[in-house]
Structures are given as C-alpha cells and as structure tokens.
A = this chain, B = another copy of it.
Amino acid sequence: MFLERINGPDDIKKLSLAELALLSDEVRDALVFKLSCRGGHVGSNLGVVELTVALHYVFSSPYDKIVWDVSHQCYPHKILTGRKEAYTDPAHFGDVTGYTNPNESEHDFFTIGHTATSIPLALGLAKGRDLCGSLENIIAVIGDGALSGGEAYEGLNCAGEYNGNLIIILNDNEQSVAENHGGLYKGLGKLRESGGSCEHNIFKSLGLDYRYLENGNDTESLVKMLESVKDTDHPVVVHIHTVKGKGLDFAEKDRESWHSGAPFNICDGTPKNGYPKYDTTVHDSLSALMSENNNSAVLTAGTPRALGFVGEDREHFASEGRFIDVGIAEECAVAYASGLAGYGAVSVFGVYAPFLQRSYDQISHDLCLNNNPATILVLLAGVYGMKSNTHLGLCDIQMLTHIPNLVYLDPCSRQEYNEMFRYAVTSRAHPTAVRVPARFRDEETDSFADILRARIHLRGKGAAVISTGNLLPIALECAGICKKEYGKDITVITPRVLTSTDDELLSELERDHSLIVTIEDGELCGGYGMRVASFYGMSDMKVKNLGISKKFHTDFNAEELLSENGISARKIAELIKDNIQEHII
C-alpha cells in the first residue's frame, strides 16, 4: 500500500514513476469505496485520478496553486493532500465537503461549485503572484463540459493577453453532466482526432499556447507533459484526453447516469438503496406541452435530467429541435428563450435555482425589458433545495421579484403547479417564472380561482400567517395548534404571486386582524415578507417577518435551519399567542 504513506504531496514525490501508477490505483480504490458507500460525483473523480497524482508529483502544492473548476472532481486531490481518511475510513466520511474548501486545507484556494469559474480565478491568483513578487505555478483544471460557460471563455480571452505563468489543464472526457452540446465540441473532437494538430484550434485562436496529451489516464505521460510546462513564463493550455468514470465498467459505459449518484454495489453498479423514484410532475408538464403544441420548445443549460428528460424521450424531442440543451450556459438559455417567445413560439427554460443566478442580467435585460412571454421553471429554490454553500437557492425571491414585468408564481401543491404552468405557457402578456416546489404536496381541489391573487387556505381572525408555498404545511400545522391549544382560528394565506403583494387582501385583513406573520423558505433579508411589513408600515397592524438568516449556510438540515430561524409550527403558534392583541384573539 502506497496510500498509507501519503500524508501530503511531499510523500508523492518520493515515489518512482511506476509507483505513481500503483498509487493511482489505490486512490481509485479509495474513491470507489467511499462513492459506493456514500454516493457523490463518480465519473469526474474517477477520470482525474492519474492527473491529480501527476499534478501533485510535478508541482508543489500549496506553493504551486491548483484551482479546480466546479471542484466536483477534487476528491483525489483531497485524498492526496492530507484528507485520505475521509475516503478510507467511514468514521471520517463526513470530515470533508464535496468541493474544494479553504477551511479544510491549505491546498484548497476557493470554495467553488459553479461552472466555468476556474480560469478567471486562477488568472487573479497569477496576477496576485506577480504583484507580490512570487514565482509559483498557477494551474486551473477545467472540464470540457465547463468550457461551454461564458465565464471560462472570458477568462481564456483574458489569459490570451496575460504574459505570466498560467497553466490551464483541459480535462476532456468528452462529456458534460449529460452529453456535450455546441460547436465547440466538434472542434475539440478534431483536436483529439488529430492529436492536437488540426486546423482551427480555439485556444490558439485566442492567442494561447497549446499542448495535447492523448492518454490522460497514464501517469507517466502526464508527468512528462506537466514537467514540460512547469514554470512556463506564459499561459499554456494542456489538453488531456481522459475517460470519465475510469475504472468502473458501468460508469465508463453510461457516463451520464454515473456523473453523480447514490450509494451502489461495486460489483455491478446496482443501487444499494433501491432505484430512486423521481417525481415526474415537471417532466410530464413539459412533455405534454411539447406533445400538444408544435410551436413550443424546452431549454436546459446542461442538466436535462433535472427536467426528467432521459433516453428515448429526450432524443425524440431533441431530434425535433424542441428539447434544446445549450450547454452549461444559462445566459444563452435565457436570451434564447426570450428570442423564441419574442418570435411567437412557446419557450420554457428549466433550471436549478443556484444556477439561475448566472443569468440575472439576461432575465432582467434580455427577457423582462422586452416583456417576452417566456417561462422559467425555477427548480430546487428555497431551503428544501440544495444544501451546500456552493449551491444555494435561498435568494431566488430576492433576485427575481424586483425585476419589472416578471410574474413569479409560487405554487403550494402539484395541482397548483400544473395550473400555474398552464398559465405561464399560455399567457402572452409577460414573462413568468414558476417556483417549482422542492417536494410536491397533493391536494384534492382542481379549482384555483384567480392564480394571480393570493390564496386563503383558512380564514380566521386575529392573526394571519402568510407563507411561501413550500412552507404551507407548517402554516397549516401552526393553525391546528392555535385552534386546538388556544381555541383560536387563524388565517393562512399563500401569496401565489411573489412579484407583488395582493394589496386588496392585505387591506381587507386590517378589519379583523392585528398580527401578520410571514414565513418564507429563503433568506429573510430582501425577501417577500418585508414587502408585507412595508405595506402595513403606517397602519396599526403588527408584522413579524421570518426567514433564513443571511449567511452561506452549508450542509444543513432544512427543518433545523427553519426552526433556528423561528419557523416551526410550534414556534409560530407561540409567537402568535404572545403577540396577538387580546381583544381580537
């Protein structure tokens, strides 16, 4: 066992070239062990094992600095930089996050989870080095999928004018999260086929030096290549060809399914906890739209599975040019959707909330300024969505609701989602975003009255809880406590439209309510509740706004984080009991 002796990069340098390959095998075994137990990003990590070993053999981290794009492929790096127990010892599995993290190790330089960031960040480090008079190597490692993001291109363009040491490693495993999309990939294919010598090399067209390595999973070749660019005095792109999922047959064969996943049996890749059941509500709404309306198209920015489109189903609509994957390029997706809607077609862009924020300007300027009736489905927004500080969706309300012309709808159930989706794709009056529930609740009604008005779920008096759709169960439970324990009927409301307040209803509440509690499953600061507080600012109505504190929360339990911020049925009920005016309750 070599890995036993590796407590940091210095120990790797003591090995022979032949031993590096053996170390790689051990790193891969450790990876497979933990991945099989805990799940995680499978394909990207297995693909960069040899690269990571070679990087730490040739360069001297943390003096030399490696910036991992997205950083979902940093597990081998963590194993080799003093954190191997987090992969080999189940008791320590929880010691590390799934992304680089400067709080964990001096070998990590950024907390990162978004795509296409590594090149400008590394350029900043390189320039910082120059200004501070130091001499280390700065290395960015970026995948082929990430190269579809505009930020990566902006960084490449800038690097093409920079005149110091910067090594950009393009880890080309011929795959994004799903298959790659875009003309770029034809060009990368030609580079691979020609061993890097074809005409029309995008990197050279951007003024960058360039090298190609076909066998990016061979440590010896990698060491040789990296040594050839070490201490370069100018930016150089090192294009290496690797195998995503390397070492696990099933992962090599089905690269999309094995991009990331749950615990599995190593022998055959079958899931340890059974095949997950995915909710098909979003998929079904999109599929029905495309089936019913030939003038409709659905866009994804590199995450088709997020919308439930896989296999034949995806191929069918893609072949018609109506399921469009623009690559990891959210800006393009929003502008593209705006153009489609502007022409008169029906367009829907579905995207995870943390990535939607990459297109704030396009939503405001390209879409809403033009008032084109495109639809945006915002997935996994709020506290029940993703739970890593690198992938938060706690500020969707802050980001979207001040943008003129946009209507942001917030359903509280599967049935209401379907109603709002129908509205969004048929209304030609304005762009609409829908906050897709993180967990669909069912309800029996299919009569939703005017969805552009707030919805009264319970009509009481004294106190009202105004709740985002995701938190309605908590609001209803709170009402139950108030009724059962205090004998009081409170009012429960969901706003349904987050881009405005239902002023008529709010005014009407003043007749027989003295307290409004707003609860939201996103950040408190700048959220929906504060608009309600503002509405009642000159009245006698008391308003308590509850929401998540302003912080890059990470690895949290949703219910606990809500409760810490005062949002639990019991706490809200007590707040109401303590603050309602006696003559009203």
Could you list which residues of chain A lie within 8 angstroms of chain B, going by C-beta atoms?
Answer: 102, 109-114, 117, 120-132, 148-161, 163, 181-184, 186-187, 199-202, 204-208, 294-297, 321-322, 324, 326-327, 329, 331-333, 335-345, 347, 357-358, 360-362, 364-366, 368-370, 389-390, 395, 398-399, 401-405, 523-527, 529-531, 533-534, 536-538, 542-545, 550-552, 579
**Which residue on chain B has the smallest CB distance to residue A365?**
B114
**Which residue on chain B has the smallest CB distance to residue A301?**
B154
- Tell me how far the C-beta of A581 lies from the nearest C-beta in chain B, rounded to whole angstroms: 12
Q: Which residues of B contact A527 (CB under 8 A)?
A: 402
If A329-B154, A361-B357 touch, does A401 touch B149 (CB 8 Å cutoff)? no
- Once the chains bind, are A124 and B338 in contact (CB under 8 Å)? yes
Q: How far is the CA of A187 from the CA of B161 in the complex (A)?
A: 11
- Once the chains bind, are A331 and B158 in contact (CB under 8 Å)? no
If A124-B336, A125-B342 touch, does A365 touch B117 (CB 8 Å cutoff)? yes
- Once the chains bind, are B399 and A360 in contact (CB under 8 Å)? yes
Copies in the complex: 2
- Once the chains bind, are B207 and A335 in contact (CB under 8 Å)? no
Contact of A537 (CB < 8 Å), options: B112, B360, B542, B551: B542
Q: How far is the CA of A166 from the CA of B348 in the complex (A)?
A: 22
Contact of A538 (CB < 8 Å), options: B125, B542, B550: B542
- Tell me how far the C-beta of A1 lies from the nearest C-beta in chain B, rounded to whole angstroms: 36
Contact of A322 (CB < 8 Å), options: B131, B295, B296, B357: B131
- Once the chains bind, are B154 and A332 in contact (CB under 8 Å)? yes
Kindly name the residue among A124, A130, A155 whose own CB sees the greatest number of chain B CB atoms within 10 A.
A124
Q: Which residues of B contact A542 (CB under 8 A)?
A: 537-538
Q: How far is the CA of A127 from the CA of B110 in the complex (A)?
A: 39
Q: Which residues of B contact A361 (CB under 8 A)?
A: 114, 357-358, 360
- Once the chains bind, are A364 and B357 in contact (CB under 8 Å)? yes
Q: How far is the CA of A552 from the CA of B371 in the complex (A)?
A: 10
- Once the chains bind, are A120 and B339 in contact (CB under 8 Å)? yes
Q: Which residues of B contact A523 (CB under 8 A)?
A: 402
Q: How far is the CA of A343 from the CA of B344 in the complex (A)?
A: 49
- Once the chains bind, are A401 and B526 in contact (CB under 8 Å)? yes
Contact of A154 (CB < 8 Å), options: B294, B326, B340, B395: B326
Q: What are 6 residue pairs bridging A and B, where the CB atoms are less than 8 Å apart in the complex?
A: A121-B336, A121-B342, A130-B321, A131-B340, A155-B335, A157-B329
Q: How far is the CA of A123 from the CA of B21 in the complex (A)?
A: 47
Q: Which residues of B contact A182 (CB under 8 A)?
A: 157-158, 160-161, 206-207
- Once the chains bind, are A395 and B390 in contact (CB under 8 Å)? no
Q: How far is the CA of A402 from the CA of B308 in the complex (A)?
A: 32
Contact of A205 (CB < 8 Å), options: B187, B324, B364, B390: B187
Q: Which residues of B contact A364 (CB under 8 A)?
A: 357, 395
Q: How far is the CA of A201 from the CA of B183 in the complex (A)?
A: 13
Contact of A131 (CB < 8 Å), options: B132, B183, B297, B579: B297
Q: How far is the CA of A175 from the CA of B341 in the complex (A)?
A: 33
- Tell me how far the C-beta of A133 lies from the nearest C-beta in chain B, rounded to whole angstroms: 9
Q: How far is the CA of A510 from the CA of B530 in the complex (A)?
A: 19
If A183-B208, A357-B360 touch, does A538 touch B534 (CB 8 Å cutoff)? no
Q: How far is the CA of A329 from the CA of B152 in the complex (A)?
A: 11
- Once the chains bind, are B530 and A332 in contact (CB under 8 Å)? no
Contact of A339 (CB < 8 Å), options: B124, B161, B324: B124
- Tell me how far the C-beta of A330 lies from the nearest C-beta in chain B, rounded to whole angstroms: 8
- Once the chains bind, are B187 and A552 in contact (CB under 8 Å)? no
Q: How far is the CA of A401 from the CA of B151 in the complex (A)?
A: 23
